[in-house]
Structures are given as C-alpha cells and as structure tokens.
Structure 1
C-alpha cells in the first residue's frame, strides 16, 4: 500500500503525490514555469505560498521539487537547495548559508568543496560569512540556485533584519537565486515597507478545499489504496451528506482529510462520529505541540476561548483570565497573526474565537469532553441528510448553551454560539 503521510509529504513517492493532488494543478504548472524561466535568464520570480497549517504547502513544495528534478536538461542550469521544514538552528545569515551548503551537498554530492566547507569553522563568524557566500557562488558557477524554504516567517525571525538585508543583497547582486517559500500567514518581514523583503515576493494565497474537492481527495486516496467500496460509498447520496457534515465541521483543511482517510471505511462512513473521533485523536499531539509553543498568557486566552466555544469580547476574556484588557488585546493581535484566533465585529465591539475548530475539538478530547463532540457530529450528520429532522436536536443544543432559539435574528447573541452551530442559521456564519 502506498504511503500517504499526514505531516511529511516529502516521505511520499512522487507518483503517490501526483495521484492525490487536487485543486492545485494549474498553480503547480505555473510554479514550474516560473522556476524554468528563472533558470534560463537573469530575471528571477520569487514566490511566497501563504496558507494556514494543513492547507498543503509542504505537499505543493514537495511536488515542485520532483517536477523540477524531472525536467529534461534543467540540471544544466539549476541547483536546488531544499531546506528542512524546520531549520531550528538558523539564527544568523551565516547559519542560513551553512544550511544552504548542507542542502546542496546532500542533493549534489561533491558539488561543494569539502575542504573549503570544513575550513569555514576555523574562522570567526564575520570572516566565515564572506567565505561561505563565496563558496556558494563558486559552487553554483553559472547555474541558478532554487532555494525552497518552508516557514519563512521563522527563518526571518531567526536571522533578523541584518540577515534579511544580507540575503536580499546576495539575491540582488548575484542574480543567481530564485526563492520559493511558504508561511502560515503574512508577517512583518514581507509586509512592512521598511524591511528589505517588502514587495519582493509574488504572493500566492492557498484556499481551503471545497466540499467537492475534499470528496475528490478522499476518493483519490481510496483509489490509491485500491478501496473501490469506499470510492462508491463516498459518491453515494448518504456519503455526500456525511462529507458535507464533515466539511461544515472542519472546513477545507487538507491535512484533516488525509488523516480522516486512514480511519474511514465503506462500513463506518454512516457512523461519522467514530472515524472523526479517531482523526481527532491522531491530530491531538500536533495541536498540543502548537499550544506548547505559545506563551503562558496566550495559552490561557486560547484555553478560555476553547471552553467558551463561541466568540467573546475582550472585556469578557480579560475578566475570565485576570489579565488586563490592554494585555489581552495585544496577545489577541499576536494570536490572530499566528492563526489561532479570528475576530468579528458586532456594532462597535469585536468578538474573538478560535480560528481552527479542530484545535478546539482536540482540546476537548484532552479534557474528556468527547461526548459533546459526538453530539455535534450527530447534529450535523442529521442536518445535512434531512435538515427538517435535525431541528429538535438543534434547539436542544441551543438550550444547553443557555441561549434561546430566537437568537436567530440577533447577531450579537449568535456570536456566543459555537461556529459550527452558528453557521447553520441564515447569515449566522462568519
């Protein structure tokens, strides 16, 4: 059975990556053309892929790598340095150069002069930086360097503005570097007009999968595994209803459907709660790691919003967490930039809630609240199968939330409901 990786598409065979590609065929073709044109001339096109975690950025970069490597004759004009997804040790421009040299040495054994590379460590950082840059350019010769870099926001944070200035100078002066990078969200290093890389990248925002595209992804994975029964089940009216329920609950996050594909079968798709709960169990360590990367105050705010389930104003968050409103506002801004929360205005007040509903559900799992999740899954499955029969369950959930069903016409009150319930009302979604 072909490997379908949840978090590391680079482990997958190129054929498997191609087999499960949905939505992004035209974009991938365009990226290959940009790289081809950059390798052929002095003008370089630099691309930044922007999309939340799980949207398929690594999958796309991995496919770009394989497509470019398979281009006939391109090796005569191009060298690829594919950095690790998380280059934890890059804390300076010199460290970035060393990472690039290591990536080139891995990809093209013998390309980098081993003695000159070893000698770099006999010098101080300032001298080693110039020597490393010279070694890189000598190794490239007349070829263009395709630099593939994920989590560019973290790299820029690591080597700071001085490192960014030196990298920009290398790219501009050598005319031998083409960058394709990714980031979960736009960040100051590319959006602040005072910084070196402002306006530098051609930005591509990756959208989530539609219901049809999510269904196509699940079907493609089932076909890859030879599961014709699941392919047929997904195409049935009942399968379509359950897919709509899952999409309503989890949105267009591609990773969710890849993980879900591991647990869904033709036999259990009718009981959506079981494969969904197993999917959450699989994703929980990932979301726990994301929470651990936050400051204590940020964790406290996220946990409160997860427990609150609906959107809340700053004053409520401050009161519940014993953090000043000013500090809460500052932390919410950072959490919003990092993709943890989103906001919506009601009148003059902003309401905040968890951006990724899967994070909230995974936190529920760790608090032994799986029964509540199952209830929501039941509601949505019934709603999309036969909407009229789910009204009673919807009203029961509203009552359990302490909100009268008449809030359907009150936007401010609707914001207090969980997003997956709120959006069932006309104009209730965000």
Structure 2
C-alpha cells in the first residue's frame, strides 16, 4: 500500500482463518496503522464496518454505510435523493457509489474497506455480485481487505464473479516459537516479568494449550489471563480454568444453534474422531438426509469441518479443537471427561520430559505412602503410564501401586495392562512363530522410554522376513538407547550382506557392553578374510564369557591350519557342552 501510486490498479485482499485466529484483530490493526502513519493517512482512509455489517444485505446498504462514514470523517453533508426516486435498487446502488467516487476524488484519497465475514456479505449480494465486481474493476477508489473463515464457492468457483479476484492470506495457528516471542514481547510491553521465557520454562504446559487450541490467539489470550491470576494451577486444572474463560463465547455459539444442530455438534464432539454420517445417524437417532442437511448448515457456519474422502461419504469433525474439548469437559459424561484428562496429561508430558519424570517419581512416592485415593491416583497413573518418557519399570510400578489402592476391584478401572504381562504374552507367541499375534499384543503398549517395544516389534518383523519394517523398528529402538536393538540391527545388516553397516552397529553395541556383538563381529571379519581382526574379537569375547566364541575361534584356527590351537579351543568348547565342537574335533 505504501508503494502504490494514485491511479495504480488495486489488489483486493482476503484473510482466511478460523474463529479466534485473529482476523478481526488484524483488520483493526490495519485500520490503526493507516490512521496513525502519516505516509499512509495521506493516501488512504480506513473504513471498518464491524458493527454495521449485520444490517448489510444488499450492495446499496454497503455503499450507504461507506458514504455515511466518509461524510462524517470528511465533515461533508451530501444531499442524497431518496430511494423511492429510483426505478430499481441497482440504479440506486450506482447512484450511491457515484457519490462515494466524487467525495474520494475531491479529497484525493483511496478508501480501504475492511470487511470481516466477507464470505457472508458476498452471499447476501447474490443479485449484486456482478455489479460489485464491475465497480471495483472500473474504479480504483476502493480497496477491499476482507476476512473469512473459509474459502466458499464465491472465491473458488470459476463461474462466480469473484473467482480468483482476491489475493489470499491464510492465518495459521501460532507455533511454539511464535508463542515464545509473543510472551516475551508482552513481558516487556506490559511489564510482566512472569511471562519472560515462560514458554521455555514450561514447554509442556504451553504445548498442551497450543495443540488443543490449534494455536488460536483467542484461546491463548484466555490462557494468559489465567496464568497471571492462577499461576499455581497445573495440567488439567489449568486447562479447565482457561475453558471457564471461554465459556461465555462458546455458550453463545451453542445458543445460536437450533436444538437439532446442537445435538449434532455435541455428538461429534463426544465421538472425538472425524466421523461419517452413518455414525452420527446412530448417535443422534435422526434420519440420514436430515443430518446431512444440518451438517451442510454447520459447515457453512464454520463450526463443522468437512473432510473429503475421495468417495461419496465424507467425514465430519468440529473445526475448532478447543471448542471440542470445551464441550467434552463442560457437557460430557464422566467417561468423556476422563478421556479429555488423559489426553491433556499425555500431551503435557510428551513435550516436557524431565518435568514429567519428576512428576512420575513424586506420584510414585504418593502412591507408596498411601496419600491418594484410587480415583485421584488412577487419572494421573494412566496419563503417566502412556508417556514415551516413562520406563517400562516405572510404568509397571505406577500400575501396581494404583491397583493396590483398589484391592477388591470396585473402581471403574481403565488402567492399561502391565508391560510384564504384555511382553510375556508377546514372547510366548514369538517363540511359537506366531509373529503377527505377537505384534498385535505388543501394540497394547502405548509408549515407553526404553525402546523395548520397538526392539520386540523389530524382532517380529525379522521373523516375518519383512526386512524394511524390521530395520525401521530397530532404528527407532536404537534412538531410545536400546543396546539389544543395535546388536539386532547389526545382525540384520550382516544377513543382508551390508558389511559396512553391520560392522558399524556391532562396534556401537560393543561400546555399549554387548558381548554377543564381539563374537558376531569376529564372524563377520572371518567371512571377510580378516583373520587377525577376527582372532582378536573372538579372544575378547571368550574373556568376557561368550561360549560360542570358543567354537568359532577353533574353526578359525582349523581353517588356518593351526591344528594345535584349534584342538585347544575345541576341547574347551566340549567342556562347556558344545556338541558341534566334539564333531569337528573328531
């Protein structure tokens, strides 16, 4: 806008974003910038019709409001003809714009028209849309900057007047880094030292809010209000306090819907996942055609989001995740509320590893001391036991101590099975060669810190001869520090003929203390003809108690013609019960 000269073509803008993403605030900020910056105020006048938009349903209404605003701002009092003096509304509309054009030409400025909910305005202009496009193309007096929650057909259908007419800008949710910058800015501007580096100190809390709210600034604003007044709250209690701030807004949103629409919205929220119409028919107990009609209306309102599937039946979910969470917490039954608690606890721990480990240790201490009731203990125990930052040992301890609080099983137990039970069942299927069943059992383990689950899954895929999947899971386990996965990955590479990769993994496993890796690396060297390196590794493995290395070293010496040394190690292997050594010695 600063670089535009008088008479240059006008580029109209469209700001797209969900409810609460900051569209209205951005339009207001543009207005303030134009009003307060001398170089912009010299060329433009900003008109923001936020309050008057509800009364606009024809293009003539829009031009009338714009003309009134300009008359007030420029202290003009144009003498207007009455509506009934014109043949039709279109003639009256052209007349009003002529007055606007004359007034702007007189003052030498261009009007920047800031319109929130532009999609709704254009829908009202069905009869005037072509006239509006014609006016905007022929007269560079007005630049429109509009906000919209969605790209409706007015903007993307080629047979519509405003197809490809607006340049689009999408407002995404705030990222963690953006929230960090924003809080630090507020800390300085509002003299609130509590906010400085708050995001870095409490990453889990920030990430839980960011993910559940899609990073929408409006919800972040509620969060800051709670932070400043209730900074001692934690986890779910903290989130619920934020929701209390949002209740007036969301309650009004519900009140503006019809009873059937409210029913559909609530059932979508309680289902939690994106769902087809068939599921909603069962939950709402309504006819399919009726639900489809209501879903179309709710999508139009920006409350429900339609997810195309490429087939006839689409999926539907609430467009705003925080609204979904608010409905579960404030309107849902106890089970639905518990699910929300678990999700929040899980997310918070997911992004704040050390804080979560500290919380787990504290919770274990409280469980051991008997300070907690079963109901209170179960919520946190489940949230912690599902975290990727908790070891399987701590997971089982959390579950054990929690179950001890309810010895008769009277509570509504939703705790997961212990890792020891799951792994024992999985290993049973593994030994029987039922690798598919073993994988199904292992998938009961949601997350864990040690990489044990990934390593066991890798072994199952190895048994199924699905090498790529086996490699992926061994690599995932290695990332979590599982030494056995290093060894298994090396064996996989060796069997695939990837000697360099196998050697690297064997060496890494040896560095972590794996004796079996010493023996297998020696075998790899022997197969490559590196006899000296093989001999060294076999001797180190024997020294550390690996029995297979005795037999393998004897074979190495035999292949080299060193009969005396071969005999010595065959005899030692026989003493340890190796039948193969007895056969070779004979």
TM-score by length of 1: 0.74
Q: Deviations over 1:379-401 (max 9, x none)?
A: 332333336755525799x9859
- Give distance in 1, aligned partners of 2:415 and 2:159: 47
1:226 and 2:191 equivalent?
yes
For structure 2, the 5+ residue unaligned runs are 361-382, 388-394, 400-411, 423-438, 445-586
**SS of alignment partner, residue 252 of structure 1:** coil
Q: Tell me the equivalent position of 2:29.
A: 63
**Which residue of the partner structure matches residue 278 of structure 2?**
315
- Once residues 157 and 399 of structure 1 are traced to their aligned partners in structure 2, the CA distance between those partners, rounded to angstroms, is 52
1:156 corresponds to: 122
CA distance in structure 1 between the partners assigned to 2:94 and 2:145 by the alignment: 24
Q: Find the counterpart in structure 2 of residue 30 from structure 1.
A: none
Structure 1 Cα separation of the partners of residues 266 and 303 of structure 2 = 15
Distance 1:399 1:328 in 2: 35
**Structure with more contact order per residue of length (Cα contacts < 8 Å, sep ≥ 6):** 1
Query: What is residue 422 of structure 1 aligned with on the other side?
Result: none
Aligned counterpart for 1:258 among listed residues 202, 221, 224: 221
Offset, 1:376? 3.8
* Residues 211, 163 of structure 1: alpha-carbon distance in 2 compared, 3 angstrom cutoff: same
Greater mean deviation of Cα atoms: 119-128 or 49-58:
119-128
Rounded Cα–Cα distance in structure 2 between residues aligned with 1:267 and 1:80: 39
- Give, in whole Å, the separation in 1 of the partners of 2:183 and 2:166: 33
- Aligned-partner Cα distance in 2 for 1:77–1:230: 39
Between structure 1 and structure 2, the one with the greater Rg is 2
Q: Name which of structure 1's ranges 218-227 and 195-204 shifts more when overlaid on structure 2.
A: 218-227
In the aligned structure 1, how far is the partner of 2:316 from the partner of 2:284? 14
1:230/1:266 contact within 8 Å kept = no
4+ residue runs of structure 1 moved beyond 6 angstroms? 346-349
8 Å CA contact 2:47, 2:113 repeated in 1: yes
TM-score (norm 2): 0.56
For residues 130 and 392 of structure 1, what CA distance do their matches in structure 2 show?
68
Q: What is the CA-CA distance between 1:365 and the residue it aligns to?
A: 4.4
Shift of 1:231: 1.8
Q: Determine the structure 1 residue equivalent to 2:385.
A: 392
1:361 is matched with 325
Per the TM alignment, residue 313 of structure 1 is displaced from its structure 2 partner at its CA by 2.4
CA offset digits 1:275-294 (Å, max 9, x no partner): 42222112122122333444
- Closer, same or farther in 2 for the Cα pair 1:221/1:400, shift >3 Å? farther
Q: Within 1, Cα distance between the matches of 2:94 and 2:310? A: 55
CA contact (8 A) 1:259 1:282 kept: yes
Superposed CA RMSD: 3.6
More helix per residue: 2
Partners of 1:163 and 1:276 lie apart in 2 by 46
Matched, 1:328 2:321: no
**Map of 1:378 onto structure 2:** 345
Structure 1 counterpart of 2:208: 245
Q: Judging changes above 3 Å, is the alpha-carbon distance between structure 1 residues 76 and 360 closer, same or farther for their aligned structure 2 residues?
A: closer
1:94-125, Cα deviation, whole Å (9 max, x unpaired)? 1111121233234x141x424x24x4456456
Q: Which residue of the partner structure matches residue 58 of structure 2?
A: 92
Residues 348/197 of structure 1: CA separation in 2 closer, same or farther (3 Å cut): closer
Structure 1 match to 2:143 = 178
Helix, strand or coil for the counterpart of 1:195? coil
Aligned to 1:285: 248
